[in-house]
Amino acid sequence: MHNQLAMILMIITGVINNSYSQNRGCTEGNCENGWGIYEYFIGEVYQGRYEGFFSKGKRSGKGKFIYSNNSKYEGNWLNGKPHGLGAKISKSGNIKSGRWSEGRLVERLKKEFTLDCVVGNCRSGYGKSKDNHGNVYSGEFLNGQFNGFGEMRYNNGDRYKGFWNENLPHGDGSYYFNNGHVNTGKFAKGKYTQNKMKIWALVIGVADYHNFPKLNYTTQDAKNVYGFLRSVEGGAVPEDQIKILLDHEATAYNIMNTAADLFEEADSNDLILFYFAGHGKNGAFLPYDFDGKEGNLLHHGLINSLLKDSKAKYKLCAVDACHSGSFDLNLVISYKDYLNKYQEDGEESLASATRSTKDIRERIKDYYTSFKGIRGGLAVIMSSASEEISLEANKLKQGVFSYYFIQAMKGAANKADTSGKKDHIIDIKELYHFIEKNVRNFTYGFQHPLIYGEYDENMPVGLLRRRQ
C-alpha cells in the first residue's frame, strides 16, 4: 500500500513538473537513461514527439521536440525543459535561438555581422557602409561603430534617420516603416520610447428607435466591434481610450460631447476611430433621440468637423447605416456653433447649424502637411452608396458591413507580398478592398461600400499580433 501511494505521488509530481506527462510511451531506444524516441499525449490529444537523450526518465542532454502544431525545439534539455543552447522554430519559420533556462529564452544569440566600408571613413569620421544583411548606413562613425547622426536603409524597405550610439538608434530620430507609418521622437538603445501610437475609439450602436423602424443587430454589431478593440487581437485598447454608446445613451448631444472629449486626447501619432451602426438618411446618421422628422439629426458635417479638428495622425470613420454614402467632405458643421445653438435654443434648432465650406479639402490638406512629412490622413468608409440601404443578415446575425469590417480587422484583409510574407499590419487599402469585395458578393451586388478622404493608401488602421 505504501509503495502504491509513493508511486501515485511520483506521478502527480511528474504532472506538475512536466505539462506533457500523460505519455503514450517510448517507441524506440532507452527512454529512461539513454537515447530514445517518446510520443506525448494529454488524454487522447497528441502533444508531440521527442527524439534525444533521457536521464531518470526526463528529457536531458541533446534532443529535438517536434510539437503537434509542427513547431519544434532543438538543443539542450534539463529535467524535461529546454536548458542551455538551443533554438525554437515556429511553424511559420520564425526562429528563437540562444541560451535557455528552465524552458525560457534568457539570452538571444547575436547574428553574425560583418561590415564593408563603401566610401569615406568608416572608422572615425563620415562614411558609407554595407553589412552582410544588405543594410546600408550613411553617417558618422566612431571607433568603427555607428555613432552620431546618420541614416540606415534596411533591406526590408524600412529606414531610420537620426542619432546613433554604439550601432543603435539613440536620441532624436524618425523610423520610416515600409508601409508608410512613421515613428518620430526619442529612441533609447534601439527602441522607440516616446510618442507611441495610441488608439482612441468611439463605438455607437442604435437599434431601439422610437420614431423609426427598429433594427435587429446594430447594438450587437457595436458590442462586437468594442469587444474586438478591447481584445489582444484588436490592440487591447485601454478602457479610458474607448467608449461605447448603445440605444438610449446614443443621443445626438451625448455622441458629440463624448467624441469631442475623447478625440481631444489624441496626439499627432495616434489613431482615432468613429464607428456607427444604426439608421441613416442623406447627410446624417440617426441617433436614438431622432424625432422622425428633422430634429436631432447627427449631421455628417458634425462628425467631419470633429475628425478634422483632432490632432491625430490617423483618422478612420466606419459607418454601417442606410444612405451613408452621402457623406460629404465639403460639408463642415462647427462643433462650437453646434454647442452654442444647443445651449441657446434647445434641440429643435440642431438642424439649422449646417453650413457648407467649399475649400474644406484644401484646409484638410494644409492641416495634414503641417505634420512635417508624417503620413496619415482621414479615411471614411461607408457601408453603402447614398441611394442604397445597408443590409442586416440573419445568416450572419450582424449587419453585413459590420461583419466584414471585424473580419478584416482580425486579419482576413492582410495580404501577402510577392514573396508570400505578410506584414501583420492592416492598412486602409487592404481594409476597404476586403470589405467592398465581400459585402458586394454577399449581397449579390445590392450594396456597395464606399471610401472617401485625404489619406495615404498605406495608412495603418490595425496591428495584428504576431504568432510565434
Ordered structural domains, the chain, with CATH:
2-108 (2.20.110), 115-192 (2.20.110.10), 199-463 (3.40.50.1460)
pLDDT at residue number 92 = 61
Query: Cα(215)–Cα(286) distance, rounded to whole angstroms?
Result: 12
The label of the residue with cell 468611439 reads 202
Please tell me the total number of residues recorded for the chain in this structure: 468
Query: Cα(203)–Cα(276) distance, rounded to whole angstroms?
Result: 6
Query: Cα(90)–Cα(316) distance, rounded to whole angstroms?
Result: 34
Number of helices (H), then strands (E), belonging to the chain: the values are 8, 29
pLDDT at 286 over 60: yes
Torsion of CA 346, 311, 319, 223, to 10 degrees: -90
The label of the residue with cell 436614438 reads 288
Lowest-confidence segment of 180-194, 274-288, 379-393, 438-452 by average pLDDT = 379-393
Query: Cα(70)–Cα(80) distance, rounded to whole angstroms?
Result: 19
Report the amino acid identity of residue 99: R
Lowest-confidence segment of 34-38, 215-219, 331-335, 438-442 by average pLDDT = 331-335
Q: How far is CA 393 from CA 111, 223, 368, 412, 442, in A?
A: 52, 17, 38, 20, 10
Report yes or no: 160 and 175 within 8 Å, Cβ to Cβ.
yes
385-416 as b/e: b if 16+ CB within 10 A: ebebbbbbeeeeebbbbbbbbbebbbeebbee
Q: How far is CA 6 from CA 1, 33, 63, in A?
A: 9, 21, 30
pLDDT tens, residue by residue, 207-253 = 888 877 788 888 999 998 998 888 766 777 888 999 999 999 999 88
Q: CA 43, 48, 52 angle in degrees (round to 5)? A: 125
pLDDT at residue number 340 = 52
Pairing of strands 242-246, 199-205: parallel
pLDDT at 449 over 70: yes
Give the cell for residue 50: 521527442
Query: Cα(387)–Cα(17) distance, rounded to whole angstroms?
Result: 64
Full-model pTM: 0.52
Segment (H or E) for 130: strand 125-131
Q: How far is CA 133 from CA 113, 114, 139, 157, 288, in A?
A: 8, 9, 18, 13, 58
Query: Cα(142)–Cα(207) distance, rounded to whole angstroms?
Result: 65
pLDDT at 268 over 80: no
170 C-beta neighbours (distance < 10 Å), count: 19
Q: CA 446, 276, 282 angle in degrees (round to 5)? A: 60
pLDDT tens, residue by residue, 140-181 = 999 888 999 999 998 888 889 889 998 889 988 888 877 556
Which spans in 208-315 are helix H? 218-230, 252-263, 300-309
Pairing of strands 34-42, 45-55: antiparallel
Query: Cα(310)–Cα(289) distance, rounded to whole angstroms?
Result: 26
* Residue-averaged pLDDT of the chain: 75
pLDDT at residue number 339 = 46
Query: Cα(401)–Cα(357) distance, rounded to whole angstroms?
Result: 30
pLDDT at residue number 127 = 93
